[in-house]
Structure 1
Amino acid sequence: MTTTSPSRLLLFAAGLILPPLAVLAANGMAPLAGLLGVLALARLWSRRADPVAGWPVAALSILLFAWAALSALWSPVPLMALGSAARLGGMVVVGTAGILAARSLDRLERDGLMTGLMIGSLVAALILSVEYLTSNSLSGLLFEVRGMKPLPPGAKSQFNRGATILALAVWPLVGWLTERQGRKRGFIPLAVIGAVILAGDSLAAILAVLAGSVVYGIATWSPQWAARLVVVATAALVLALVTLAPRLPIPPASFTSLDWLPISAHHRLAVWQFSSTKAAEHPLLGWGMESSRVIPGAEERLDTQWITPAGIDKGSLTGTRLPLHPHNALLQIWLELGMVGVALILLLVGQATRDRRPANLACLTATLAVASVSYGIWQSWWVSALWIIAALCAPSSEGTSA
């Protein structure tokens, strides 16, 4: 079937817009995913696409959000739990549609999409480069334009959400270029975008680039071993959360035992220790969807000053034991949905590793790395970004009609 120019142009525009939008306004991922989902549904309807290819991920996702909705029965915020479960269930529909629509793309359509993504990613990398080289002045200027308070000196870039999305979106580019032009040229986007991210101050994005690169290297040698590594590492993380996280040192004791960590990491340790301790109180079913916001004891303050034995002031730690969510996806799911929810996530990871293409295994690893240290797992912009990245990773048909 002949590929129409408007179709290729629309796909090119979608790829072009995604990375700069992620950097400048990450919250825009949710409306963008909704728009792309509607367009994907329209394409699938017009072509009477067979949905069988996408059912495993969709089925497991639906089970997860059905369990989340059921947990409203024991959640301390039942209406919020139901609302979040319904909203995320809707994202499953549009996200699955996006994956199926991506599978239906022919070669020229996919080339148009990925060419736009390549250019957009380079533009986004340029924006981040200017941001980092000017001590985060661009995001500070954006704050002022929006009428918000100026960023304090030394504040992290407000574009870091976009940096993490870019750290994930680079892998579909690597896979596409490798398929089209070989591994040497496929490495180019990772080298360029990775260098920019490594120069920035988003630890989550840096971790994503490094972890993804390690698994990519292993997968080029043995995709089977790389897939097993991802599954085993995820299961090991679950085990560590259950057995070790409740025993983590917290401030001020951690200032002495782990004095090499930045002060923000000490707060994260306290959050993980508190969250895992609370999760152990209801290990099977969890506290209920969205309960992280109102867990008893979460509002306890951790405010303390870090003074070394030599009398050096290394800053002040401010914050609560649990600020809205645990900043770890697996821990949040265990806390809210219990081991039933964790089991569904492990099944999802196992299903995702069935795609043994090196770039896709690297992208999955990078996603798990970010989810392990940042963001709330139910945040709309983050879930939307993950569905979009999953669609970009989906294999397309290899039609060559012009």
Structure 2
Amino acid sequence: MTRVGVSPVASERRTRWLGGLAVFMMVLTPLFGYVIPLWFAGLVSLVGLLAAPLLARSRPPLLPMFALLILVLWALVSLVWSPAAPHLADLKKNIDKFTALKLLMQLGLYGSAVVALGEMSRRSARLAGRVMVAGMLLLAFVICLDSMLKASIYMVLHRATGETIRPDQAIVKVAAGTYALALLFWPCARLMGSWGARSRYLAITALALMTLITAHLTGADAPVAALLLGGLAWLGVRTLGKPVVRVLIALISALFIFAPMVVLWGVRSGLFAWLHAMLPPSWDHRLDIWAFAANQIVEHALRGWGIDASRVFGNAIPLHTHNAALQLWLELGALGAAMAAAFFAWILYRILGWTEIDRRDGAMATGSLVAYVVIGALSFGVWQEWWLALGAIAVIACGIAQKSSAPAR
């Protein structure tokens, strides 16, 4: 309860340091999204390190952290049999080769950032939210314009560093910004929901259209699928509420648990052969990778081949499987897939609580989570640090939007 005549916002504990870190993150997120997404990892790590002293006041979510800790420890154990395990002598030369060790560090630093910034006051969250919306609108405008100019702006900026870049490579770099937009679209839309009716609809529509236009012109299919399926999930939660979240708990858990079985069924039933004749080359290549990965999973279904084993199969799997669930099964076996399923199920369980309080918050978080799962199922390697960092930024963004939009409770 608050004293009579004193607003809840005025009486809450000030969190200037956390608010400053959140603003710092939201200023740099659109910049890195356009210039160099790989720096997301350093950004979240730095924020996590600077926020660590304040963790004593926080209430960390123990269950999802426990699931991720088991996953990371199992990845470390799998180095014993992984064909991609680096030699200990390489530890002094290049720590980037030790994916399992990096995962342990990322769990601590990224987790610190997410947990600590979750303790921001509403005042701090509102400021960070305004910066986030402005930054994402600016990012969407710049990459949309640059995609229409065939990455001319990006090439000029890149040449200013003294290096050259091919036009096709520059287009891929510009497309990278659409992944950040696909994840942060829903928290931005939630914050813009408090604007006037006309400005709200114009801003949300503009943000969505610029993201889709950029993705189309740069050939990035995954952000389009993420935005559309995230929108479907958002609409379902917004209109029907908790039943949709409960269904998603089962669906996303099943995605991680049954992924190799579904792929093997698709191959043996002739579905993949039918799809091969219809899909463009990039998707056709994905089907080949998924089919090969599913066959390899069968050989070591329980323990997996070991962390980073996706890299040892040559052209059959170029670096990773382009599917998070299959990569987890291939490298860490049933235990790795089960821990990932448990983690996302817990996140959705928390979203269920948000939905009970306010469907708008539940719909926002569901849209972002579905977008992350969809992109992870189609594009990046599951251990890419910048992609994991972007997921942490999306969690922080949803927390900012929920807190800054919420009345006193």
Give me the TM-score of the superposition, normalised by structure 2.
0.81
Letter in 1 for 2:373: L
% identical aligned pairs: 23
Letter in 1 for 2:224: I
Match of 1:58? 65
Q: Secondary structure at the match of 1:42?
A: helix
> Hey, what's the Cα distance between the residues in 1 that align with 2:192 and 2:127?
13
Matched, 1:281 2:299: yes
Matched, 1:67 2:83: no
Q: 1:324 to 1:215 in 2, by over 3 A?
A: same
Q: 1:128 to 1:283 in 2, by over 3 A?
A: same
* Greater helix share, structure number: 2
| Aligned residues of 1:20 and 1:123 also touching (Cα < 8 A) | no
Match of 1:312? none
> Hey, what's the Cα distance between the residues in 2 that align with 1:335 and 1:198?
33
Letter in 2 for 1:353: L
| Aligned residues of 2:256 and 2:340 also touching (Cα < 8 A) | no
Matched, 1:14 2:22: no
Q: Secondary structure at the match of 1:372?
A: helix
CA RMSD of superposed structures (Å): 3.1
Match of 1:304? none
Shift of 1:14: 2.6
Shift of 1:366: 0.5
Matched, 1:216 2:234: yes
2:39 pairs with 7, 12, 28, which one? 28
Match of 1:266? 284
Match of 2:98? 83
Q: 1:192 to 1:366 in 2, by over 3 A?
A: same
Shift of 1:97: 1.8
Q: 1:335 to 1:399 in 2, by over 3 A?
A: closer
Letter in 2 for 1:66: L
Q: How does 1:106-145 map to 2 (within 5 A)?
A: 106-145=121-160
Deviations 1:242-300 (A, max 9, x none): 224236569xx979854432111111111111111111111111001111111xxx22x
Q: How does 1:2-401 map to 2 (within 5 A)?
A: 3=14, 8=19, 11-44=22-55, 48-51=56-59, 53-79=60-86, 83-146=98-161, 148=163, 150-151=165-166, 156-178=171-193, 180=194, 190-199=204-213, 200=215, 201-238=219-256, 241-246=259-264, 258-294=276-312, 298-299=313-314, 320-354=315-349, 355-356=351-352, 357-394=362-399, 396=403
Letter in 1 for 2:383: W
Q: 1:277 to 1:156 in 2, by over 3 A?
A: farther
| Aligned residues of 1:105 and 1:397 also touching (Cα < 8 A) | no
Which runs of 5 or more residues in structure 2 are unaligned?
1-11, 88-95, 353-361
Between 1:185-194 and 1:160-169, the stretch displaced more is 185-194
Q: Secondary structure at the match of 2:120?
A: coil
Letter in 2 for 1:14: M
Q: 1:225 to 1:7 in 2, by over 3 A?
A: closer
Shift of 1:220: 0.6
Q: 1:7 to 1:93 in 2, by over 3 A?
A: closer
Between 1:94-103 and 1:215-224, the stretch displaced more is 94-103
| Aligned residues of 1:249 and 1:270 also touching (Cα < 8 A) | no
Q: Give the count of matched residue pairs.
A: 371
> Hey, what's the Cα distance between the residues in 2 that align with 1:183 and 1:367?
29
| Aligned residues of 2:19 and 2:124 also touching (Cα < 8 A) | yes
Letter in 2 for 1:50: S
| Aligned residues of 2:212 and 2:224 also touching (Cα < 8 A) | yes
Deviations 1:152-188 (A, max 9, x none): 569843222221112101222223344x459987666
Q: Secondary structure at the match of 1:158?
A: helix
> Hey, what's the Cα distance between the residues in 2 that align with 1:352 and 1:132?
35
Letter in 2 for 1:381: W
> Hey, what's the Cα distance between the residues in 2 that align with 1:104 and 1:282?
42
| Aligned residues of 1:54 and 1:99 also touching (Cα < 8 A) | no
Q: 1:337 to 1:189 in 2, by over 3 A?
A: farther
Deviations 1:314-336 (A, max 9, x none): xxxxxx21101001111100000
